[in-house]
Amino acid sequence: MSGAGAAARRETARRPADSWTRALRERIERTVPPGQALPDRQPVFVSSWIYVFGVLTVASLVVVVATGCVLAVGGVAWWHVSSLGHFVNSLHLWSVELFFGFMVIHLWGKFWMAAWRGGRLLTWVTGVIAFVTSIGTAFTGYLSQSNFDSQWISAEAKDGINAIGVGAWFNVLNPGQMLLWHVVLLPLAIGLITVLHVVLVRRHGVVPPIDARDGE
Amino acid sequence: MSEVATHTPTRPRQTRPGRPHPVATRTPDSHSFATRPYDLVKEFVVALAVVALLTAALAAVFSSPDERSITMSGWAQAAPADVVATATSELAGTSVSATYGAPYNTASEGQKVLGIPLQKWGGVRIPVDSAALVLDPLTRAAADAPTKAALAAWRSAPAGTRTAWATAYGDALAKAPDGNPAAVASGSYGPVPVLAQSFLAVARSGGLEGQLAASGNFYGGDQTRTILLLSDGAYLEDTARAQQLGGDQWGMMNETGNYPGQPWMWLYTFWYQVAPFSTSDNADAQVWGLMMVLTLGLMFLPLIPGLRDVPRLVPVHRLIWRDWYREHPPVRRDRPAPKTGDEPGR
Amino acid sequence: MVRAAAVMAASPHVVHWGWFRIELANLLIILAMVVVFVIAMVVPFGRSAWARDDSGDRP
């Protein structure tokens, strides 16, 4: 028996075919091959400022979540009674405005690039889901302010939600429920969809210019 | 596949005169192109620093709005006649919440979209008895003798009589100057004027929020009944309209003061301003339905012929990739272009 | 800064064109987004801190 054969047998014994760990690792590597997850080079056509708005959106999301976490430390009413709390609320508000601004500019850019080409439909779809989920998250934030604005917005918004029959499950007049959606469920959803979106971007690479040919 | 990110690119093919490239029929693999150094992590860190600084600057300069919430005692102080009129309409069953339909009661069919009664299908899952919004706090409050007598008279009267009393008093209030209860013409109102005045007193005392929100629980939290009552009055809307927050003032995207609100809601807000929605009784259901369809349209825009071709037809991409196109001029198309692969599967 | 915050807290400025109306702050945000988008389109990317040009090719 050759030494090489024994080594191969040992290798097979070390890596059982039904290893769940190995299956998961290979699944991950198939989805995003190692060099593609964090490449240090990009195609030469990646040469426009419009490319930075995706990263700016993710960076804004980080600031939104971080400032939201600081608000959470103080509790629901902290920002009404503390000047520091009010400043953190201001940080939270303006980071949200920047987040949406950058996200929409990113969307405009990707539209004009027809960035869904080359099997990238799901990347586009997850981007739109992230946008819509963000709108819902911001909305629950407005309902969680515990001030006049949230009183009025909830009084108005109930009619829209009730009109489609879901007002009892998503009760905008219940600030406790809205706060939990705002700080747990919806951020979790945005986090997951953002990860999926970025994984898809890395998996497919940056979309080539319209009318570009293979290997140029 | 692991080496694709640093794939050795082939040289750009030369276009020979008279033999143009065939027009690309599919989107090439992104990894087949020449590359150059691009530091994603550095880009992210710079972006994070820029956003953090920009946020801090905007927050420091502009701050953020915090218009204090309306309290029931504030409402009672500022607009006592409105509180009395609202209490009367709750007893008469004519308030907005009393005639709402699902999910609060069965008083109306609710809104429909394309004839489908989605609101009704949702069911009455948060039952709200509008008269109880007034009677419960009065019963729980340490009421004086006249209030106790009025409550007893109300409870012992037949439903038709109660409604007749409260409706008559509501009509009389509407005719009185400024809705002033003291200036109401005399009539057959039963115990309603006493109940409404006592309700005003409870509201003034500051105890109403707790009475409505707690429902026997030490911890409140659900403000459904409180906000329904508040929005049955005119005071909440008057205050909102003064801040440009009314539904017909494009208020859904606005914020109190001069602060930016939710400009991303512009399209949702827009539909409420134009016919047929601006005059429809089913506007909420219709606008929601329309926005769902439009959102699906945006989501699956890459599959919609015509719309997905716009980026190719309007040459913004020539601007974005101008460096690339300078190096790789588009070939002249001597023959009709085959399908050019804007659809996402290609 | 205090003055800027006071201006923000004042009663809202609204811009009207016929049936169209928008709060000035929202309008300014949308205009700023359009301006930033156009700038991103027009300004040459050149060499940023994170993207270098090494003649566009590496064997």
ipTM: 0.90
**Closest approach of chain A CAs to the CA of C16, in angstroms?**
23
Share of chain A above pLDDT 70, in %: 91
In a domain, A26, yes or no: no
Is C1 within a domain? no
Chain B contact for A166 (CB, 8 A cutoff): yes
Tens digits of residue pLDDT in B41-58: 999 999 999 999 999 999
**C 7-36 → B contacts, CB under 8 A:** 7-14, 19-26, 28-30
Contact call for C58 and B34, based on CB within 8 A: yes
Q: How many structural domains does chain A have?
A: 1
In-domain check, residue A160? yes
pLDDT at A23 over 60: yes
Which chains form contacts with chain A, at 3 or more CB pairs under 8 Å? B, C
Q: What is the count of structural domains for chain C?
A: 1
What secondary structure does DSSP assign to B79-113, as a single string?
Answer: -HHHHHHHHHHHHHT-STTTT--TTT-SSS----B
Report the number of distinct structural domains present in chain B: 1
CA distance B246 to chain C (A): 12
> Is A24 inside a domain boundary?
no
Interface test with A, best of C45, C52, C57 (most A CBs within 10 A): C45
Residue B3 predicted with pLDDT over 80: no
| Residue A79 placed within a domain | no
For residue range A38-62, list pLDDT tens digits in order.
Answer: 899 999 999 999 999 999 999 999 9
Distances, alpha carbon C4 to alpha carbons A86, B259, C7, in Å: 16, 11, 5
Tell whether B2 is covered by a domain: no
Tell me, what's the pLDDT at B64? 94
Please report whether residue C33 resides in a domain: yes
Give the torsion through C-alpha atoms of B118, B123, B126, B128, to 10 deg.
Answer: 100
What average pLDDT does the segment A143-169 reach?
A: 94
In terms of residue numbers, what domain contains A198? Answer: 96-204
d(CA B115, CA B92): 30
DSSP letter for A145, please. S
Q: What is the percent of chain B with per-residue pLDDT over 70, rounded to a whole number?
A: 87
Residue matched to tokens 């690339």: B324
Question: What's the rounded mean pLDDT across residues A157-179?
Answer: 94
pLDDT value at residue B10: 35
Q: Which one is predicted more confidently, A178 or C14? A: A178
Number of CB pairs < 8 Å for B and C? Answer: 105
Shortest Cα distance, chain A CAs vs residue B86, angstroms: 16
**C57 at A interface, C-beta within 8 A:** yes
CB–CB contact A52 B47 (8 Å): yes
Is A72 a residue whose pLDDT tops 90?
yes
Q: In 3-state terms, what secondary structure has residue A188?
A: helix
User: Does B330 have pLDDT greater than 80?
Assistant: no
Residue C59 in this model has a pLDDT that exceeds 80: no
- Domain assignment present for residue C52? The answer is no
Contact across the interface for C19 and B259, Cβ inside 8 Å: no
* Pick from B43, B244, B320: CB nearest C23: B244
Own/partner contacts of A26-33, CB < 8 Å, gap of 24 or more, are A29/B2, A31/A199, A31/A203, A32/A199, A32/A202, A32/A203, A33/B1, A33/B2, A33/B4, A33/B5
| B219 vs B256 pLDDT, higher one | B256
pTM: 0.89
CB contact, 8 Å: B220 with chain C? no
8 Å CB contact of B258 and C25: yes
pLDDT tier, C2 (very low <50, low <70, confident <90, very high otherwise): low
Domain CATH code at residue A130: 1.20.810.10
The confidence band for A14, taking pLDDT boundaries of 50, 70 and 90, is low
Q: What's the mean pLDDT when you consider all of chain B? A: 87
Chains contacting C (3 or more CB pairs within 8 Å): A, B
pLDDT at B210 exceeding the cut of 60? yes
**Confidence band, pLDDT 50/70/90 cuts, at residue B328:** confident
Which residue segment(s) compose the domain that C39 sits in? 9-44
Residues of chain A found within 8 Å of residue B55, distances taken between Cβ atoms: 60, 63, 67, 91, 94-95, 98
Domain presence at residue B235: yes
pLDDT at residue B5 greater than cutoff 50: no
Q: Are A119 and A87 in contact (CB under 8 A)?
A: no
Check: CB of residue A175 under 8 Å from CB of residue B223: yes
Asked if the C-beta of C43 comes within 8 angstroms of chain A's C-beta atoms, the answer is yes
pLDDT in tens, A105-147: 999 999 999 999 999 999 999 999 999 999 999 999 999 999 9
Contacts of A82 in chain B (CB under 8 A): none
CA angle B138, B130, B218 (to 5 degrees): 55
Residue A37 lies in a domain: no
**C16 by DSSP, 3-state: which?**
strand
Average the pLDDT over A153-162 and give the result: 94
Can you give the residue range of the structural domain that contains B190? Answer: 72-95+130-242
Confidence tier at B31 by pLDDT (50, 70, 90): confident
- pLDDT at residue B16, rounded to an integer: 39
* Residue B295 to chain C, least CA–CA distance (Å): 20
- How does residue B311 score in pLDDT terms, banded at 50, 70 and 90? very high
